[in-house]
A and B are shown apart, each in its own frame.
Chain A
Amino acid sequence: MSKSLKLRKGLDIRIKGTAEKILDKPEFPKLFGLRPTDFQGLVPKLTVKEGAIVKAGDPLFFDKRNPDILFTSPVSGTVASIVRGERRKILEVTVKPDSEISYASFAKGQPSAMQREEVIQNLLKSGVWPLIRQRPYGIIANPADKPKAIFVSGFDSSPLAPDMDYVLKEYGHELQIAFDALKKLTDGKVYLTLNGKYEAAKVFSALKGVEINYIQGPHPAGNVGVQIHHINPINKGEVIWTVNPQDLVIIGKLFDKGVFDASRIIALTGSEVKTPRYYRTFLGASIESMVLGNVSDGNLRYISGNVLSGTKISAHGFIGFYDSQITVIPEGDYYEFFGWANPGFSKFSTSRTFFTWLSPRKKYRIDTNLKGGERAFVMTGEYERVLPMDILPQFLIKAVMVKDIDKMEQLGIYEVVEEDLALCEFVCTSKIEVQHILREGLQLMIKELS
């Protein structure tokens, strides 16, 4: 009973720097790092000290609230440093890799022949579990829950996103194993949503035991939150788990080979990258070897993830735990004389007050300037145009601002995480920090309801 939906609302930001479909292999990264801040609401507790020797799959830290959830090293080597911030908050745990990766070994076998508990234990012990996240809240799934369904979005619609059909084309075997494993975790269905704009790639259409639905439209049609909303929405008290498509390969390899193989194909994108293309590397790998000499001069911002909801990292920072994309764009720390009065042929805007509408195909070099000052809400109807969900984003954000928990719940806070409202933040005339506010709301809900 597959659905095919067409969404109208949303926005594809026309930014320069799409990755060419060439797969490159950069020099083996000199440093790896895991950021506990990649995981919302996590309180990490270290299991290693600086200088410890680890294999790929050996734990580096665990979740203080749920000690079963381990975070393991993506590579074998020596723990190089533990970077702490204010109040000794752990920011990064870095590992200096060996020249050859040696893997810790875990149970292997067909997940369909395993018990649910065995599957969960294998995922937990290997450090693969954190790849499974839950809605509401967008936090790591709780192994004690039984979700009503599991969702995988088979395409990424965010700006300059990697083409999942291209990235996953050789991994049909691993994907099938991963879906078999997910099937064990829920009594409900496992859903895979594909882009309805073109025919399903063979690697996806050959999958068994999965309900495939099709959605097409501008970003955020590829966001799993939007897909859940239209296919099997979350109501109060319900839990749905989500997994990124490329992370299925890691799950598949765990059951196939019994190792935590953190390799991942990354799209290096953005207007400041000289040769934007795909690279075979690892989660947690330093981007240094990819970007060194491959980006233009000037003050640049390196983002792990996409420009809407990615994380700012340094030129030798690490690929985030959930990210399959690195974006490099210019910083916007300059003054612009009468910038607001500029006719704006070179500026991207959804507003027709700029002449962007004259060139509907042109791609833009967009920098990180805020392009205005923060104000109170004035304009209305802007957010609704870019959110293809039956949710009133402005009212929801206002409910969060006044910390009205009942209203947040009634207005559908369980159905969204930051990435779903990222476009609202992009288009906001008042430059309101929508994603930050929403996260505060989600954190408040977690605190009050647990």
Chain B
Amino acid sequence: MKALRRYLDKIKPNFEKGGKLYKFKSVFEGFETFLFVPNKTTFTGSHVRDAIDMKRTMIIVVMALMPAMLFGMWNVGYQHYTALGLEETLPLTFWYGFLKVLPLILVSYIVGLGIEFAFAQIRGHEINEGFLVSGMLIPLIVPVTIPLWMVAVATAFAVIIGKEVFGGTGMNIVNPALTARAFLFFAYPKQMSGEIWVSGLEGEKLVDGYSGATAMAQATTTIDMNKSLEVAKQVGDSDLVSSLQSQIGATIDGLPSAYDAFMGWIPGSIGETSTLAILLGAIVLIFTGIGSLRIMLSVFAGGFLMGLLLNAVAVNPYMEIDAYYHLLIGGFAFGAVFMATDPVTASQTARGKIIYGFLIGVIAVIIRVLNPAYPEGMMLAILLMNVFAPLIDHYVVQGNIKRRLKRAKA
């Protein structure tokens, strides 16, 4: 350690202003503070400080993502071999997924951190740790079949447009990782929907009846079928009616069971499928106090209550799906635990957090069920509420101000 410290002290002058490597100052500083907590002492205000810092905070979030990531790697392999009708040992299954997922993670980190280093250098700031989390989130919310260059482009877009133009971590309005996903979703719709959730199937012989669609995509198809059913009923084509009815029934029956969806061995984005793995991460975030329990609970409450409301007024089979099922499929749990709780883009007041989270849950389910064009409502719901979070806070702050004025009059 001491030798390393001596070495760093020796090369440090090169990176100072006027040194020949000055243009890499931010990179050097980034690595130096990564290796050693700086020797800087307090000089104004409180003489002692809490030991917590941004590095540790961000690393804890990355650790909380580990169960979802590891499970995702295994699931990539599992989906692959299941589609081919094979059964493989656990290590091999995991290894297959590991080789598929690792490049995505590397691309996301290299592109993202590269841009962060450049911005830090231009601005003369220290490197911000925020991307440590975003860089892990991005690969976990994309389908495994996505081309690497798309991940690179999306990451660059998210870091520059989603974050750095606003001034960097802490200043951004929308969640950078979701910005990346939204970019992919709208820029390359073909690669973001359809038969994309399982890797390595091209040119292979698949098991009979294998669909590979996500639960939400399947459920969404029932909406169109239901429309045709209404038409058929009006026309009076009884054969078509009965065939459509049985089709709808089969699709709904074909949805993964709640148990499968909870455990996560279903197709989907890499990190989003296992509600169990996500809950493990949630426990870490809640226990350490880094993730807001308020937000998580209110997102789940919002989604569940909206599900119940839809059940009550159901006019098609998708609306009749059990309310709790919505919380298990798609990116709902992942979004609630890791995306909605991003402290920068969420509401900042205690009361605001509850409203913000609740509306995310409600809107996510509304988009899923009532708008078949977007099977995954979570991403759009969170982005929308990111934009509205300052407005919610505004009203909470006004409440505080009004209380103070009222006190003055009394």
Contact surface of A with B, Cβ cutoff 8 Å: 13, 15, 233, 235-236, 301, 303, 307-310, 312, 327, 329, 331-341, 344, 347-354, 366-381, 384, 390-392, 394-395, 410-412, 418, 422, 425-431, 433-436
Contact = CB atoms under 8 A, between A and B. Distances in A.
Interface in B355-410: 393, 397, 400-401, 403-405, 407-408
A418 B397 CA distance: 22
16 contacts: A332-B39, A333-B40, A335-B37, A335-B38, A337-B36, A339-B37, A349-B50, A352-B289, A368-B42, A373-B38, A376-B167, A376-B171, A380-B346, A395-B397, A430-B54, A435-B44
A428 B44 CA distance: 14
Contacts of A376: 128, 167-171
A175 B403 CA distance: 36
Interface centre among B4, B41, B43, B400 (most CB of A within 10 A): B41
Closest 10 CB pairs of A and B: A372-B53, A376-B170, A339-B37, A435-B45, A235-B408, A347-B51, A340-B55, A335-B36, A380-B348, A351-B52
B37 A371 contact: yes
Contacts of B54: 372-373, 375, 378, 429-430
A428 B42 CA distance: 13
Contacts of B169: 375-376, 378
Given A353-B288, A371-B37, A376-B171, A435 B46 contact: yes
Contacts of A331: 41
A392 B349 CA distance: 8
B321 to A, nearest CB: 34
A329 B46 CA distance: 13
Contacts of B289: 351-353
Nearest to B127: A373
Given A339-B36, A352-B287, A426-B50, A333 B170 contact: no
Contacts of A434: 45
Interface in B154-176: 167-171
A410 B41 contact: no
B35 A373 contact: no
B231 interface: no
A371 B54 CA distance: 10
Contacts of B408: 235-236
Interface in B170-211: 170-171
Interface stretch (B56-64, B85-93, B302-310): B56-64
A372 B55 contact: yes
Given A335-B39, A370-B41, A384-B350, A308 B47 contact: yes
A391 B290 CA distance: 22
B5 interface: yes
Interface string B284-295: 000111101000
B45 A429 contact: no
Contact of A367 (B48, B344, B404): B48
Contacts of A429: 50, 52-54, 57
A339 B1 CA distance: 12
Nearest to A415: B404
B51 A412 contact: no
B48 A368 contact: yes
Interface residues of B, number: 59
Contacts of A307: 46-48
Contact of A348 (B50, B60, B404): B50
Contacts of B287: 352
Contacts of A353: 52, 56-57, 60, 288-290
A158 to B, nearest CB: 11
* B contact face: mostly helix, strand, loop, or mixed: loop
B33 interface: yes
Nearest to A301: B47
B67 interface: no
A350 B60 CA distance: 15
Contact of B292 (A333, A351, A381, A411): A381
B165 to A, nearest CB: 15
B49 interface: yes
Contacts of A340: 37, 53, 55-56, 59
B260 interface: no
Given A337-B36, A369-B39, A378-B169, A431 B51 contact: no
Given A370-B41, A430-B170, A425 B350 contact: no
Contacts of B130: 378
Interface string B134-150: 00000000000000000
Per DSSP, are chain A's interface residues mostly helix, strand or loop, or mixed? loop
Interface string B1-38: 10011000000000000000000000000000101111
B320 interface: no
Given A353-B52, A375-B54, A303 B47 contact: yes
Given A429-B53, A435-B45, A369 B40 contact: yes
Contacts of A350: 50, 52
A410 B394 CA distance: 13
Contacts of B45: 309, 418, 422, 425, 433-436
Given A336-B37, A375-B169, A378-B170, A351 B50 contact: yes
B290 A371 contact: no
Contact of B50 (A327, A334, A367, A427): A427
Nearest to B29: A373
B256 interface: no
Nearest to B41: A368
A338 B35 contact: yes
Given A307-B46, A392-B397, 5 more contacts: A310-B47, A333-B40, A347-B51, A373-B54, A376-B167
Interface in B323-372: 343-344, 346, 348-350, 353
A336 B33 CA distance: 9
B35 A337 contact: yes
Given A308-B46, A351-B288, A352-B288, A371 B51 contact: yes
Nearest to A236: B408
Contacts of A430: 54, 170
A428 B5 CA distance: 28
B312 to A, nearest CB: 35
Nearest to B2: A337
Nearest to A366: B48
Nearest to A311: B47
B281 to A, nearest CB: 14
Contacts of A373: 33, 38, 40, 53-54, 126
Given A339-B37, A352-B289, A392-B400, A371 B44 contact: no
A273 to B, nearest CB: 15
A375 B170 contact: yes
B57 A378 contact: yes
Nearest to B405: A410
Contacts of A335: 5, 36-39
B44 A436 contact: yes
A337 B5 CA distance: 9
Nearest to B37: A339
A313 B383 CA distance: 50
A334 B60 CA distance: 24
B173 to A, nearest CB: 13
Nearest to B292: A381
Contacts of A301: 41, 47
Given A333-B39, A336-B37, A378-B170, A341 B47 contact: no
A368 B171 CA distance: 29
